[in-house]
Chain A
Amino acid sequence: MPHRQPPAPYLSDPKGEFPLAPLDFAMHLTSSIGLMRDNALDQGLKPLGLSVSRYRVLGVLVRFGVCRMTDLSNLTAMDRTSLTRIADHMVDKGLVTRTSNPKDRRQVFLDITEAGREAHRDALAVVLAYNGRILNGIPEEAQREAARTLRAMAANLAPNAGARDGIIYYADPANDKD
């Protein structure tokens, strides 16, 4: 079905496959998926006392153990200000503990508590079920191909090398702690 000309100032797809130029359309869909997924997961995680942002922080701590705020920021793509607010809340709820370097009080570390681990286990089930549901029917090879393209796009956009590698490789930040 050919698409109508989009309203100004939007640019049309020369091949007529999409209602907008392909890249602009892909980014429009990406942000729509993100909004709907965050809303759905915030709702789904509410009974566990979590939100999607809190879940992301717990996920990093379960995988890598104690982390600096910089590591958490790199591995979650969240900015430091939001992370600090989220950490405050999770410390209050007993999901994480916060310590600071006695030699440099500005350097803050977070660690997960047993309650945090339990909450994460339940949350993971909610998140994986939702992920599976929204990619249902899409062949694995198509998912792998898209992942390679999205990886290049995320790398183009990352604000710095630490954030780029944290997101793309999700590698243990301890390896680059001297």
Chain B
Amino acid sequence: MSALVQPQLASTDDEGEFPFAPTDYVLHLLAAIVMFRDAALDAELKPFGLNIGRFRTLSILVRCGPCTMTELSSFAAVDRTTLTRVADHLVAEGLVRRMGAARDRRQVVLELTDEGRERHARAFEVITDCNRRIGAGVPEGEVRKVARLLTAIIRNQTSNPATLASLLDFARA
């Protein structure tokens, strides 16, 4: 036996049940679900003039109320560069308006317009329909167990209180 530690070349499941170690398989499946779901939703949200990124941003304004770009970024858990592009689009479409000091962009508050709230509510059905397809045949007890595990993952991913409240309590801290 060589004394050299061989670099790990792949993740494997000792019990042979999964193609990777359980930890890596869970994250592999989550990533695949996100990609499948985002692709499906991007297509289904198109008639509403939205895509998944725009819907997600509207959703934050629905649950957290008017917020600055800095707040929006921590509520969304995504970087500001992406968000700025999305916010610009939503403002141009009349779904979101910018309120407040023109001299200090950091103080500018984004809020939903009536049209934005209505568009979000109509598009919401597309999201819940897609979720129902994903959960078809899965008992509610199993969905709850998954949701508990996902909550634990998020707590390991971030300790930012604003992000945690937005994601886990679906509200402002």
Q: How far is the CB of B100 from chain A (nearest CB, A)?
A: 22
Could you tell me the distance between the alpha carbons of A39 and B78 in the complex, rounded to whole angstroms? 8
Interface size class of B (residues with CB under 8 A): 35 or more
Q: Does A106 contact B (CB under 8 A)?
A: no
B146 contacts across to A, CB distance below 8 A: 26, 146, 149-150
Q: Which residues of A contact B48 (CB under 8 A)?
A: none
User: Which B residues touch A169, using CB under 8 A?
Assistant: 19
Q: Are A134 and B157 in contact (CB under 8 A)?
A: yes
Q: Considering only CB atoms, which chain B residue lies closest to A171 in the complex?
A: B19
Grouping DSSP codes into helix (H, G, I), strand (E, B) and loop, the A interface class, with mixed when no group exceeds half, is helix
Complex CA distance for A152 and B33, rounded to whole angstroms: 10
Instruction: Flag whether A159 is at the interface (Cβ < 8 A).
Output: yes
Q: Contact between B62 and A34 (Cβ–Cβ < 8 Å)?
A: no
A161 lies within 8 A of chain B by Cβ: no
Q: In the bound complex, do residue A37 and residue B170 qualify as a contact, i.e. CB atoms below 8 Å apart? A: no
Return chain B residues, CB-CB under 8 Å to A147. Answer: 18, 22, 25-26, 29
A contact residues around B144 at 8 Å (CB): 17-18, 22
A131 CA to B30 CA in the complex, in Å? 12
Total number of A residues with any Cβ neighbor in B under 8 Å:
71
> Contacts of B62 on A, CB cut-off 8 Å?
7, 10
Which of B24, B29, B124 interacts with A154 by CB under 8 Å?
B29
Within 8 Å of chain B (Cβ to Cβ): is A115? no
User: CA A26 – CA B153 in complex, angstroms?
Assistant: 12
**Once the chains are docked, how many angstroms separate the CA of A140 from the CA of B169?**
26
Residues B152 and A29 in contact, CB atoms below 8 Å apart: no
Bitwise, A36-49 to B at CB < 8 A (1) or not (0) is 11111000000000
**Is the C-beta of B99 less than 8 angstroms from some C-beta in chain A?**
no
Whether the Cβ atoms of B36 and A29 lie closer than 8 Å is no
- A145 within 8 A of partner (CB): yes
A156 and B31 contact, CB distance less than 8 A: no
- B128 sits at the interface (CB 8 A): yes
Contact with B along A9-45 (1 / 0, CB 8 A): 1110000011110111111111111111111100000
B27 within 8 A of A: yes
Contacts of B32 in A (CB 8 A): 77, 154, 167
Of the listed residues B39, B133, B153, the one surrounded by the most CB atoms of chain A closer than 10 A to its CB is B153
A69 interfacial contact with B, CB 8 Å: no
Say yes or no: B37 contacts A27, CB within 8 Å.
yes
Q: Which residue of B lies closest to A59 (CB)?
A: B10
Complexed CA–CA distance, A13 and B78 (Å): 26
B-side contacts of A88, CB under 8 Å: none
B159 to chain A, nearest CB (A): 12
Which of chain B's residues have a CB closer than 8 A to the CB of A34?
A: 30-31, 33-34
22 contacts between A and B (CB under 8 A): A3-B170, A6-B63, A6-B170, A9-B120, A23-B131, A26-B150, A27-B131, A32-B77, A36-B158, A62-B9, A124-B11, A128-B11, A131-B24, A133-B156, A143-B26, A144-B22, A149-B145, A150-B146, A154-B29, A156-B136, A169-B19, A170-B28
A residues adjacent to B (C-beta < 8 A): 3-4, 6-11, 17-20, 22-40, 62-63, 77-79, 121, 124-125, 128, 131-138, 140, 142-147, 149-154, 156-159, 163, 167-171
